[in-house]
Structure 1
Amino acid sequence: MLVDKPGGMTSHDVVARARRALSVRKVGHAGTLDPMATGLLILGVGAATRLLGYVGGSGKTYEATVRLGQATVTDDREGDVVTTTSTAGLDDAAVRAAFAAQTGPLQQVPSAVSAVKVDGRRSYDRVRAGEAVELAARSVTVHRLEVRRIDRPSPDLVDVDVTVECTAGTYIRAIARDAGAALGVGGHLTALRRTTSGSFTVAEAGTVEESAAALVAGGGPGFLPLTDAARLLFPERSLTAEEARALGYGQRIPATGAAGTHAAVDPDGRLVALIEDAGRATRVAVGFPPG
């Protein structure tokens, strides 16, 4: 299911709503979105939950608005403002240069109010309990950061609309924070919308209820059959009926010499397994039994 998440809901809220709409317990999501964020959230239902780990690791595209001149405790609009510094002396060229510096390979420190675990507990839980949290930097890559618009809602503030293409695990809040810090005025995120995750796009998404109805009907906006989803993630290997039967029994079939994971599809178009070559044979990495 491809869902266009509204603001004000957690990713878990969306999953819970999907479970109610479908009367199914086995529903999961790939790629958490903060409550204030909107846009593409990919859900897996039933056996499709086995694909979610692969979906979550794909690159993402976001549209965001960054406010310069104020820093917040959460690096977004939901946190208390901790510093205010006039942006009256900033020109557009300096703003563009600060965001240009947030591209390429980065060592990015996640926001302290994030889902990163520290000794088994979420960082945001530790912060809310009054603990001081320092998170380690992590390697991320921002492939493209386009400044679409620079606006000045007041003499002391600058709002910047950006489009960001990045690897999974990149914090757009951290980009806002770090660009603001580089300019000496502070910054935080005021709007965030995810538009793509790998080959999946928000243009194909619907509300939870629309996507659930499409799944039940076997087609429609917001629903992608399991085999079609796997084909977007992996190269396809077409199986003979005999090969499909062998994989179903947990047996190995001859390797093709093609590197990486492949979606193994039987003659009827059903996803049988994700497979990988192991020497002269192909082994099942993830199986998808019929039914």
Structure 2
Amino acid sequence: MPGPSGLILIDKPGGITSHGVVTRTRKRAATRKVGHAGTLDPMATGLLLLGLGSSTRLLTYMVGLDKEYEATIRLGQTSSTDDADGEVSPPASRAALDAVGESELSAEIEHLIGNIEQVPSTVSAIKVDGKRAYARARAGEEVVLKPRSVTVSAFDVLDLRREESVIDVDVRVECSSGTYIRALARDLGTGLSVGGHLTALRRTRVGPFRIADAVELEELNVAEHLLSPVDAASALFPTVTLDEDAADDLSHGRRIGTSGIPAVTGAIAAIAPDGRLIGLMERRGEHMRTLVNFPEDEGGSRG
């Protein structure tokens, strides 16, 4: 009997690594074949996508999906890690904080929307000469990271609270994969000349998947909360149901014709007549070729 295959949407709690969530899920699912798409820091909570069994093959196509976060940015203090886990600086002067009004905040946020060049946090997982930036930083090395092009499509203020020595701003951010919300907090504070860092982060969406459909880790029942491979693929890609001959050819790695298949760029989910996921295919000239195939007994079926 094959192990479970599909996608699980987890609402990750704070204080645990993404790998820790994978470890716990392996025990519950009684399988080693579990992976995740899009790491969340231990401090962060929210949506973590897990692939089980052959559905780990879909994870490659999920890491580049756009994302949505809700976060709290603390203005008035910087942090060595750009978040609450680092060494926090003394607060900015009261005069500097008083100079941060709603118009100033909105103007500075506007500079961080759109296609921007962002310098990642020095404690990010980006590799510098083969070694993680955070490992170099923690070893006392000076880490200089190059700016990266990212897209911030929304940066909305949800609430603002003025304390005696800081300003806490609750925000919602929609962004491309690879965007660092910690870096947005840092850059917002720098632009306002008061410093800033992240104190809370929650991921609420990854591509078409939303936190409302996720299960808390402690309540996970693998059989109950497993999204079948065909349903997962159908959420991610255009789908085509093939006839029996084409399904058999594609299942065995043979190319098929393009008749009746949408002229789209990128992966298409191929569905067998019985509703199971055959795999992913893409157009190559006058033929469709296989990108990823699923075992016949793990393709699931439409619910």
TM-score (normalised: structure 2): 0.91
Q: Is residue 88–residue 157 contact of structure 1 (8 Å, CA) maintained in 2?
A: no
Letter in 2 for 1:88: D
1:119 and 2:129 correspond:
yes
**3-state SS in 2 of match to 1:58:** coil
1:231 and 2:234 correspond:
yes
Identical aligned pairs, as a percentage? 51
Which of 10, 20, 29 aligns to 1:13? It is 20
Q: Is residue 275–residue 283 contact of structure 1 (8 Å, CA) maintained in 2?
A: yes
Deviation at 1:257, TM superposition (A): 5.8
Superposed CA offset, 1:163-197 (max 9, x none): 00110110000000000000111000000000000
Aligned positions of 1:90-109 closer than 5 A: 90-109=100-119
Deviation at 1:102, TM superposition (A): 1.0
Which of 73, 78, 88 aligns to 2:98? It is 88
CA distance in 2, matches of 1:28, 1:20: 13
Two-structure CA RMSD over aligned residues (Å): 1.2
Which of 40, 51, 62 aligns to 2:69? It is 62
Letter in 1 for 2:145: L
Aligned positions of 1:109-188 closer than 5 A: 109-154=119-164, 156-188=165-197
Superposed CA offset, 1:65-87 (max 9, x none): 00000000000000001353121
CA distance in 1, matches of 2:296, 2:22: 24
Q: Is residue 13–residue 217 contact of structure 2 (8 Å, CA) maintained in 1?
A: no
| Match in the other structure for 2:206 | 197
TM-score (normalised: structure 1): 0.95
| Match in the other structure for 2:290 | 284
Letter in 2 for 1:142: V
Deviation at 1:54, TM superposition (A): 0.9
| Match in the other structure for 1:244 | 247
CA distance in 2, matches of 1:36, 1:152: 23
**3-state SS in 2 of match to 1:70:** coil
Q: Is residue 273–residue 286 contact of structure 1 (8 Å, CA) maintained in 2?
A: yes
Q: Which runs of 4+ in 1 moved over 4 A?
A: none
Deviation at 1:209, TM superposition (A): 4.6
Superposed CA offset, 1:82-127 (max 9, x none): 3531213322221222122210001000000011111111110110
Unpaired runs of 5+ residues, structure 1, are none
CA distance in 2, matches of 1:91, 1:202: 32
Letter in 2 for 1:279: G
Superposed CA offset, 1:220-245 (max 9, x none): xx431111110111000111111111
**3-state SS in 2 of match to 1:72:** coil
**1:83–1:131: structure 2 CA closer, same or farther, 3 Å change rule?**
farther
1:29 and 2:39 correspond:
no
Q: Is residue 65–residue 192 contact of structure 1 (8 Å, CA) maintained in 2?
A: yes
Deviation at 1:22, TM superposition (A): 1.1
CA distance in 2, matches of 1:243, 1:209: 43
1:258 and 2:258 correspond:
no
